């Protein structure tokens, strides 16, 4: 089952949390209570592959890409640029059969975790500064559709499994086939009160 491959954990660090945080651009195709079908616009990500446990990989991936967005980069003018944080931060654990504006996500690939931050929409591949660390790569992701279930509170494994089941059941009832493993997205800082937290389970379709 899909939920067997998923563990919920995410990291979100805002140096200036009071600032407006850019989120991914999308259009709502259909909405029903806590469920939505969304069409996301193309996006550019900075990504890296890391090994280790989920916790260790999350920390290592965030450190590598966080270094890039916080200035470990070189622009065309040879000046280091700080790139704004985006939200949400998300993580995805993939099975072997499958593969601030938007998410930082993690997915397992050949025993490693693929961690990526979505870059602010003002950038193109030509205008983004070049990572100084060769472990960080830039990649453009085409437009794609996601089914999304939103919920508040904490994101423990039992609750996440329950929400994944709810989303998969909803998709099955609508005759929609999921095309990816579930992804967990969190929009708030770790110190946010549970009832104020915005979380999402996302699946590409």
User: What's residue 165's pLDDT?
Assistant: 92
Residue 106 · residue 113 · CB < 8 Å: yes
Closest among 87, 86, 108 to 7, alpha carbons compared: 108
Cis check: omega of the bond before 28, within 30 degrees of 0: no
Closest among 84, 78, 73 to 130, alpha carbons compared: 73
Considering the chain, what is the average pLDDT of its residues? 77
**Overall pTM > 0.85:** no
DSSP bridge pairs for 70: none
CB atoms within 10 A of CB 127: 12
What pLDDT, in 10s, does the model give residues 94-138? 333 322 433 445 555 656 677 778 888 889 999 999 999 999 999
Closest among 159, 172, 177, 190 to 8, alpha carbons compared: 159
User: What's residue 176's pLDDT?
Assistant: 96
| Local confidence band at 195 (pLDDT 50, 70, 90 cut-offs) | confident
- List the beta strands (DSSP E) in the chain: 26-32, 35-40, 43-50, 73-74, 89-92, 102-109, 112-118, 130-131, 137-141, 144-151, 183-186, 199-204
Q: Is 122 helix (H, G, I), strand (E, B) or coil?
A: coil
What the block records as the tokens of 7 is 């563990």
Report percent pLDDT > 70 for the chain.
72
The secondary structure of the chain in percent helix, strand, coil, rounded to multiples of 5, reads 20, 35, 45
Residue 119 DSSP label:
P
């Amino acid at each position: 089952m899909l939920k067997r491959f998923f563990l919920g954990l995410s990291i979100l660090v805002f140096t200036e949390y009071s600032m407006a945080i850019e989120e991914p651009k999308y259009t709502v195709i259909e909405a029903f209570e806590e469920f939505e079908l969304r069409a996301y616009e193309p996006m550019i990500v900075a990504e890296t592959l890391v090994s280790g446990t989920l916790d260790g990989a999350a920390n290592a991936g965030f450190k590598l890409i966080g270094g890039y967005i916080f200035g470990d980069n070189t622009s065309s003018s040879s000046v280091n640029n700080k790139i704004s944080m985006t939200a949400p931060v998300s993580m995805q654990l993939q099975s072997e059969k499958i593969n601030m504006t938007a998410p930082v996500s993690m997915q397992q690939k050949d025993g490693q975790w693929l961690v990526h931050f979505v870059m602010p929409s003002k950038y193109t591949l030509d205008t983004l500064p070049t990572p100084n660390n060769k472990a960080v790569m830039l990649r453009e992701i085409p437009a794609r559709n996601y089914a999304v279930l939103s919920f508040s509170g904490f994101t423990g494994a039992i609750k996440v499994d329950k929400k994944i089941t709810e989303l998969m059941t909803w998709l099955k009832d609508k005759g929609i086939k999921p095309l990816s493993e579930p992804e967990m997205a969190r929009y708030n800082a770790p110190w946010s009160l549970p009832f104020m937290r915005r979380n999402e389970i996302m699946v590409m379709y």
